[in-house]
Structure 1
């Protein structure tokens, strides 16, 4: 039995977990405070955890004197959450626990004597909490291409890290590509983790640059689209943030792209955007540009060879991650 802890923010962590667990041979239980929806079908069991962030405005010493990320004192939600996790571990006795992501859950599982596999994250993860979690982990899974992005701080864990490539739920799905038309189609793509662009911004871009057909998926103020694949594959250029799932989905579709870093802890998206830009996979930016630059940026992206996205190693990435977990579970 494998336990799989899934962070509740956004859709990215649960989408990645669902993609990996669809390939697992070992039974797996998902543990999360998020509602997993249809993704729950990819797990053998689901344990819904109490939330530990409902008193965020009154939290006291949440970092435990700068050693952890979220462990506020005398917080009922945290106490109930950790009790639920500990009780499940004691009863289920899993072979290992996959953590995506939480330093505190990593430490809890290891203190119960359970081997831990941690989902590594891009950015500068050299703070005390990340160093502690990555050090105690039995294995790390990095969902990106080491050829394209090889952070210096990860080299300390080289002997226990698997770089499996970008994990996309669309891996293996046919990508027909854009139909011929007079105007290039530009798709602005966002996710549930937050974005700087809104529907009003999209309208202004459409009015200002009518030489392009502008469309949006997941932008603030618009409707959520459960299946963006048809819109993604129909685009001549995709403008998206540098989150791991968005990048992997663009790579799966092999579309020319402008990838823009949104503000995230530890400069996560900035690191990814820089790596993609340096490697020629996409036009990478540190933030949303001056609107006057859009024609130049779009044409730069159209000049890139989409075949370069193969280097992000999306093909078979989820299956490679699952194989690592199955091997580790058997060895335990």
Structure 2
């Protein structure tokens, strides 16, 4: 069982736990954006492979996966058939699943050495660490999250961090928790970096848009239909994923991207015209974001993909815009989130 090293467990410097969800790359990217501004030792809990190099004063506890089919002495346990929602009160807590139990056990084993905890994102982990008596900062995502598990997580969180600017989304779904909600702006690890010069006529396809198996054919169609465009890929085509796509984003005359929080924040940091193609996600996360961006004149929202006619029209619209991305508040967002997190790492009733 992995635990915090003894030589760093007892220290005057605060210790903060941080749960990083393993779906996609967005949650770890957000961690890497905020972490440099948090003056504390941080222990990350995640099923993801740790980034290399790890930030200074950071431990990484690798958690087992909790959604894999398991073999129990010849018996097959399918977690999807093991009452994972507890009758709709939870999102994911399959009965009898060793991987799930081990995940929470590893967090509990380290809890005594921690002063606060950040969850990005999981309703179950949020409630669990609050039951352990740890002050809780919870990252949220856009969309109508009025279901019972989300409401419970919002209710027990000390601080709810929303990585979008004030006014971008309807916050009524948070109910009474709005009093503990902070819209810090879009969080990008590229905020403040020097921008490369734009290459006129270039269009960047950033990240995962549409079905992975269909992307090579889409690429062929687009390059044939728009031969005057210099097409670029950063994560759209196989083997083009970049740990640091910053220069590619900055050089693009137009960026076409999914409407995930981190992709939008990175485009905002680069100040580029954009077309966002909302992908199907739980609670309409990306549809909600795309609608907000279109409404504020920050990006063109494209609902039909990969329709070449619609893409051509969207490119014309995007090229004619000068989006005021400063309204997305990328420059101060990571620092604001870090201040909220660091502020939790004091015992209740103890003055700074």
TM-score, length-scaled by structure 2: 0.87
2:33 equivalent in structure 1: 19
Classify 1:224/1:104 alpha carbon distance in 2 versus 1 (closer, same or farther; 3 Å): same
Q: Which runs of 5+ in 2 are unaligned?
A: 1-14, 71-76
1:248 equivalent in structure 2: 265
Aligned-pair distance for 1:80?
A: 1.2
Q: Which runs of 5+ in 1 are unaligned?
A: none
Aligned-pair distance for 1:127?
A: 0.8
1:173 equivalent in structure 2: 193
Q: Trace 1:241-280 onto structure 2 (pairs within 5 A).
A: 241-280=258-297
8 Å contact from structure 1 (residues 274, 285) kept in 2:
no
Q: Trace 1:30-179 onto structure 2 (pairs within 5 A).
A: 30-38=44-52, 40-55=54-69, 58-59=78-79, 60-89=82-111, 91-92=112-113, 94-154=114-174, 156-179=176-199
8 Å contact from structure 1 (residues 191, 246) kept in 2:
no
- Counterpart pick for 2:341 among 320, 325, 328: 325
Question: 2:66, 2:209 → 1: CA distance?
Answer: 20
Aligned-pair distance for 1:148?
A: 2.5
Question: 1:10, 1:211 → 2: CA distance?
Answer: 33
2:320 equivalent in structure 1: 303
TM-score, length-scaled by structure 1: 0.92
Q: Structure 1, residues 160-195: CA drift from partner, whole Å, max 9, x if none?
A: 11111111111110113314x5xx111111159976
Aligned with 2:52: secondary structure? helix
Tell me the number of residue pairs that the alignment of Structure 1 and Structure 2 aligns: 326
CA RMSD of the aligned region, Å?
A: 2.0
Question: 1:313, 1:197 → 2: CA distance?
Answer: 35
Runs of 4+ with deviation above 3 angstroms: 191-197
Q: Structure 1, residues 255-305: CA drift from partner, whole Å, max 9, x if none?
A: 000011001111110000000000100012334252112221111111221
Question: 1:50, 1:39 → 2: CA distance?
Answer: 21
8 Å contact from structure 1 (residues 15, 39) kept in 2:
no
Aligned-pair distance for 1:197?
A: 5.8
8 Å contact from structure 1 (residues 188, 215) kept in 2:
yes
